[in-house]
Amino acid sequence: MKRNPETYLDNCYGSRELNLLVEFSDLLGNKDINLNHVISQLGEHLLAERIILTIFNRESGQIFIEGLYGVSEEEKKDINYLPGEGIIGTVIETGKAVLIKKTGESESYLNRMRTPLKVNGEDVSFICVPIRYKNETIGTLSFHKIYGKSHILFDEDVRLLKIVGSMIGRAVRRKQEYAEEMAQLLNENQTLKGVLSNQIQSDNIIGNSGKMSDVFALIESVAATDATVLIRGESGVGKELIADAIHQNSHRKEKPFIKVNCAALPENLIESELFGHEKGAFTGAIATRAGRFEAADGGTLFLDEFGEIPLSTQVKLLRVIQQKEIERVGATKTIKTDVRIICATNRNLEELIQKGEFREDLYYRINVFPIYVPPLRERINDIPVLVNHFIDKFNKLHGKNIKRITSMAIDLLMVYHWPGNIRELENCLERACILSNDGVLRAHNMPPTLQTAVSSKTSETGTLETILEKHEKQLIMDAMVATKGNMVKAAKNLGITERMMGIRIKKYNIDPKRFKSRKADG
């Protein structure tokens, strides 16, 4: 039985086309779409000389090339079209496919990519179809093909091109919408961060590091609620400022914000301070006195150094938190209170619970919404902005005119471990501002403890090798600072070879780039 050649050709073509479309469906379904790979596969299937994918940019009003086959990046450099311009622009404008059987005979064919009009003496055809998404033309898909290879299957090629164009259109629009959505989310995120920073950062809360951004986000989340907050962190990190920010951004901001330093109150007076007392309740109680809870009614009560509260008071405090009522010392009736409680401590409450020095039930009552404030050594990148803040503050406070701080002085601040955190930094800068007489903060204006902290701590411990390596590393870093990161000069100053210098730079994980942009002190 003889086969019909045309039917056989159609069957083979259809089978290969189906496999190709299945493959394209998989490729275009991926999140990261490789359009050039899709174009290349299509080009090989169509025996095309070149394939061009263009996308219409709605914002700029121009048509840009997004995918190519058989064209170098250099050839397509800076080529774009306007709607109505050339074949591609016409297809974008009309939404209709265009077929040019012989490009050399067409006046409307612009040929900006300098595509050969003949290949091996044969004419080149050009087919361009619109890429549509819903009712909108968003781009074009076109290809060049030798006329002798294409004229028999022109209709099939156009049909396939339209199908693939439709698939690409959906994928491209998804990609565009995703990019636009992400851009919008990023813009909203930046806007909200700006609003958040303006709302939360008072004149004293400074920080733009990732860790402080997390803290600001937590403040923003909890401020609008009445949840009890436990602020944890080392001494000097600014826990009181965080409490103040929570209150100022809450619906209680017009009400009292009462602060109590629990560590500063004697054990026999802390109950009276918190809950008040009746006249004659104890020796010296010559009049009835309201406590801090009553003073904070409707507002916020900040209990600093919360871990220092004695066990006897913890029991009564637990009842206040649970029942929302207090009882003055020496009184028999209760008083209802509406107080939001914020606690702060630098102590390890979990260890205190293990030692029996802190009630576990009270711990769970106050640990509703914990906020950890990182120490300054964990957010060193905040130091420059903190320095600027404190310089402005002390210029006003002491009538100074400090205009800048030298890079060497900043270096000292950046490498110090800051056991006293921001409070210590503030004190150091106040001292430096007072000592400066020329409007510049220099390294020698800083306390001696900062100037020796880089090379040593309070005592030298460890083996001789460890101590010597510590000093060797410091000498190399000092040489790199002095030569602004020039390893050759640093090696010469230290009397060692460049090779020895390179070995030690690598051994101590010193980054020479860190020193290159630095200016000499003064």
Q: Which domains does the chain have, with CATH numbers?
A: 13-178 (3.30.450.40), 210-374 (3.40.50.300), 379-451 (1.10.8.60), 464-515 (no CATH)
Mean pLDDT, rounded, for 103-127: 81
Q: How far apart are CA 188 and CA 206, in angstroms?
A: 22
Q: How far apart are CA 307 and CA 301, in angstroms?
A: 16
Is the predicted pLDDT of residue 203 greater than 50, yes or no? no
Any idea of the CA torsion for 67, 72, 74, 80, to the nearest 10 degrees?
-30
pLDDT at 143: 84
Structure tokens at 103: 């490009």
Q: Do 53 and 65 meet the contact criterion of CB atoms below 8 Å apart?
A: yes
Task: Compare 136 and 154 and report the one with higher pLDDT.
Answer: 136
Output the pTM of the full model. Answer: 0.51
Is the predicted pLDDT of residue 219 greater than 80, yes or no? yes
Query: Mean pLDDT across the chain, nearest whole number?
Result: 81
pLDDT at 7: 45
Task: Compare 416 and 331 and report the one with higher pLDDT.
Answer: 416
E-only strand ranges, 286-339: 289-290, 300-304, 325-326, 335-336
Q: How far apart are CA 391 and CA 387, in angstroms?
A: 6
What is the tens place of the pLDDT at every residue in 326-366?
888 887 788 898 999 999 999 999 999 999 999 999 999 89
Strands 300-304 and 340-345: parallel
109 CB-near residues (< 8 Å, 6+ apart): 86, 87, 100, 103, 126
User: ∠ CA(158), CA(162), CA(167), 5° rounding?
Assistant: 150
Nearest CA-CA partner of 140 in 68, 222, 242: 68
What is the tens place of the pLDDT at every residue in 64-73?
888 888 877 6
Least confident interval from 19-33, 82-96, 139-153: 19-33
pLDDT at 82: 87
Q: Do 47 and 122 meet the contact criterion of CB atoms below 8 Å apart?
A: no
Q: At what angle do helices 5-28 and 35-46 cross, to 10 degrees?
A: 180
Written as one letter, the residue type at 28 is L
pLDDT at 243: 93
